[in-house]
Amino acid sequence: MKELVGILGGSFNPVHIGHMMLASYLVQYTPLDKVWLTLSPLNPLKEPDALIPDMQRLAMLELAVKGAEGIGICDIELSMPRPSYTINTLDLLKRRYPHKEFRLVIGSDNWRIFEQWRDYGRILSDYGVIVYPRPGYPVGDIYVDGVEVVDAPVFNVSSSFVRDALKKGRDMNFFLPQGVYKYILSKKLYQH
């Protein structure tokens, strides 16, 4: 049987405890064997405001997953053409890791706009999607082939909240994975 890997994509600008708690929940409470936090250089549906360099975001992910059971990092999109489209990422992962099976993990906010994604129908049919609840976006009843809804805890923490707090000089030690806050302060990231 193939190892089942959940692909949780994001800009991780910065990675925070909500990302880590969700990934941990998915590994422990769903059929997923692993969750790969997949660093996206630029989401085609988002503005690139305040996006720090890829290598710094990757360094923070490495600190975040250190010692985390079942949670890994995937940096495949950093070497792909931009903007990066999820279907291309999943297809490349499937070719590169034929012994693994992949599922896309998205929040209920992204589910609402999923039909805007490139080849969304093929993502559903070829890979499947796991949808988790996000604040302000109730999951409701989703009865679509290829979609599994999980009742993950809802965390009202976002990277934009963390960036704003850092800009204001707030202490974000408990909002960021171990080592990430120290890294941010040492590199003077998100301070202005």
What structural domains does the chain harbor?
A: 3-156 (3.40.50.620)
* pTM assigned to the model: 0.94
Report d(CA 70, CA 6) in Å as an integer: 10
What is the band of 155 on the pLDDT scale with cuts at 50, 70, 90? Answer: confident
Report d(CA 8, CA 89) in Å as an integer: 12
Pair type for strands 129-132 and 100-107: parallel
Whether residue 45 is predicted with pLDDT greater than 60 in this model: the reply is no
Q: Which residue shows structure tokens 């969304």?
A: 120
Contacts of 115 (CB under 8 A, 6+ apart): none
Whether residue 43 is predicted with pLDDT greater than 70 in this model: the reply is no
Q: Which residue shows structure tokens 């070719």?
A: 95
Whether residue 139 is predicted with pLDDT greater than 90 in this model: the reply is no
Pair type for strands 34-39 and 3-10: parallel
